[in-house]
Amino acid sequence: MAKRIVVALGGNAILTDDPSAQAQQAALVTTAQQLVGFLNDTENQLVVTHGNGPQVGNLLLQQINGGSAKNPAMPLDTVGGMTQGELGFWLSNALNKAFKAKDITGDVATIVTRTVVDAADQAFQKPTKPIGPFYTETEFTAIKNEHPDWTLVEDAGRGYRRVVPSPKPTSIVEANVIKEIVANGTTLVAAGGGGIPVMTKSDEFVGVEAVIDKDFSAAKLAELVDADELVILTAVKNVYIHFNQPEEQKLGKIDVATAKQYLAAGEFAAGSMKPKIEAAVSFVEKTGKRAVITSLDNVENYINTEDGTIIEP
């Protein structure tokens, strides 16, 4: 049965230990070879979204270090747009290559995407998303003086980092366009890095200094384009409860109520699996469709045997 599928790629699908352009492109070639499995049914429609945290951090640092009065550094929202284009370019090329190897017909395209957030979101009062490098205690004062508008926090004894707001998405500006393009059979890369965060002010969109969690934006995108399935690809094949404890238990198929019970019980780490479960639950509750969390390496097994963690209505 043909399906419209939104796939959210984790960082391991793009960045290895080598941050060079060549290494990231090579990683995406391998990633694309896995993704084309979702098109074994030639009637399926595929939208791919991805993270961009390391790329945003690296580019922002380059901008700051290389900025001058005549060539000023760009703000965070614009840097997010730059990395959407960068990664979309690489991923589109990789998908075209994978299509050719598998004799799959059809076009591939990338759309730079804006994600609407609410100015009243409490995330703007308490920035939590770390970006960029670590700073030592001796560097802290100089960085704070140089960038007085930054929020710097101590990070687990490893130094200080800049943190920015991570608001929840309320809408996707290009959702209707994305839906139309995908319905015509184009495989689309969209909402990279969670999308460029924007607010509406005086009937226009204005970029804001924030980073949106890509799993939440993927869930919102999947909801708005009427996806039949949301697939969140991460580093592990299954979600676990009682993780790393003697009673550790792998989760296969569960219903959304059970997933919410595990969330309430604090079973999932805040900076790791928790946002993926929350995003999956949001999509399932709002659409009545199902969400899947598994690993990139397990895509073929999931497609053939439904091996992975599946959250159903």
* 195 is a catalytic site residue: no
What is the number of other CB atoms lying within 10 angstroms of the CB of residue 143? 17
Among the listed residues 168, 179, 220, 276, the single catalytic one is 276
Catalytic residue among 57, 81, 193, 214: 214
What's the sign of the alpha-carbon dihedral 171, 174, 176, 179?
negative
Closest-CA residue to 195 (of 51, 57, 75): 51
Tokens at residue 264, please? 């309430």
286 is catalytic: no
- φ, ψ of residue 153 in degrees (nearest 5): -130, 155
Phi and psi at residue 295, to the nearest 5°: -100, 160
Catalytic entry in 57, 88, 129, 168? 129
Q: Which two tokens mark 291?
A: 């969400």
Could you give the CA distance from residue 4 to residue 37 in angstroms, rounded to a whole number? 14
Of 12, 44, 298, 301, the catalytic one is: 12
Q: Are strands 309-312 and 169-172 parallel, antiparallel or unpaired?
A: unpaired
Annotation says 250 is catalytic:
no
Q: Is 238 a catalytic residue?
A: no
Our answer to whether residue 144 is catalytic in this structure is no
Active-site residue identified among 3, 11, 44, 106 = 11
Which residues are designated catalytic? 11-12, 129, 214, 276
